[in-house]
Amino acid sequence: MTLPERLWEALRLDPSTVAARARFYRAYAELEEPRVDVRDLAELMRDRPPPGGFGPHVINLIGKEAGAVGQRLREIQRPLGGGPWVRLAEVADALRNAAVAELLLDVQTGRATLLEASRGYSELGLPFGDFLAVAAMGDRERSISAAELLGALLSDSQITDTGLLGSAALSTPAQQRYLLLTAAPDATDLWPRLTEAPQAHRTAAVGATSQPFSTWWRLGSLLSHLESDAEGIRRELARIIVELSEAHSRQLQLAAADDHHWSTGRAQTDLIDLDLAGAVAISARIMRQREIRPWRFESDFPALSPLASISLQIGLQLGDDAPPSDDYLGARTSAW
């Protein structure tokens, strides 16, 4: 399943351009990591060049000069590659960008790539990884674990390291937001504490559309408390989704004003707000899990412009559980 034709018209992008963007990021993710990279060179030059320098014009990162660079870095006791997390993060980011493009073309392909990206982020210890997995396939095991971690966070309990970056990642508003959205399907009993938490009043701008943290916290809190007879909560959820959708639409409009970069698929703004699409997918699964009337685009979001509808449409498709086959996933996990 892909975007309806009217939304492609609103984007003013050729699908082949979007496909090229996906291929670019996929190719980057699958590049073989060089023994020495630009970070190594910067660190080396900060210290001093090796005896004899690097040659008059070009530093060859795969020839004998790479050996000289490596030897000098060992002498100043700096690990090659900038630490074990750097390349992992680069690959995860590249796969995330590839997924954004792929989701516009084929949700199943994009779903599989989201799962690939999620593995890297999770290995780093970032809740964003679990969020992508729960958004892509409704991984209840991760949702339950996130709810336990969220409870510990709200109680100021000691949190042990969960990945290469350690528990410090949870101190950032962005990752706390992902933790809440991931936990929402299994965080019903946390509702009172969520509404009273300091995070409920934070105004820091987060996400692709720079919306207040409190808006996202409110969204996640409402998702955790959504019940079949809670029409007021449903209406409030729809209102927040519309607010976030319109904010992303404004970002797309601004990006499209730069026709050169937009038409060639090189605009800096994400064509899909993955945070919003993922939250919508999670909400759709919660509704199904709790036997709540599902979202109906025409009745729940009647006033949305086509451009503002894109992330919402993708989220509804992601929330329609039809996961990619094991064979397909197995063929796409070599990056890890």
pLDDT tens digits for range 48-105 = 555 555 555 445 555 555 666 666 666 655 554 556 678 889 999 999 999 999 999 9
The stretch 106-118 carries a mean pLDDT of: 96
pLDDT of 214 above 80: yes
One DSSP character per residue, 157-225 reads ------STT-GGGGGSHHHHHHHHHHHGGG-GGGHHHHHHSGGGG---EETTTTEEHHHHHHHHHHHHH
Residue 213 has pLDDT above 70, yes or no: yes
Reading phi first (left if > 0) and then psi (alpha if -120 to 50, else beta), residue 125 is in left
Q: Which residues partner with 211 through β-bridges?
A: 206
Structure confidence by residue, pLDDT tens digits, 289-319: 999 999 998 899 998 999 999 999 999 999 9
Residues 6+ apart with CB under 8 A from 309: 7, 10, 245, 297, 301
Residue 221 and residue 295: Cα distance in Å, rounded?
Answer: 18
Residues 96, 125, 35, CA angle at the centre, nearest 5°? 70
Domain boundaries defined on the chain: 92-330
Query: In Å, how far are 40, 44, 69, 73, 287 from 48, measured between CA atoms?
Result: 12, 6, 11, 10, 60
pLDDT digits (tens, 9 = 90+) for 124-177: 889 999 999 999 999 999 999 999 999 998 987 766 655 555 566 788 889 999
Query: What is the band of 230 on the pLDDT scale with cuts at 50, 70, 90?
Result: confident
Q: How many whole angstroms from its chain centre is CA 245? A: 16
Which of residues 124 and 181 earns the better pLDDT score? 181
> What's the mean per-residue pLDDT of the chain?
84
Residue 251 and residue 229: Cα distance in Å, rounded?
A: 35
The answer to whether residue 31 scores a pLDDT higher than 60 is: yes
**How far is the CA of 261 from the CAs of 22, 23, 156, in angstroms?**
16, 17, 45
End-to-end alpha-carbon separation of the chain, Å? 27
pTM of the model as a whole:
0.83
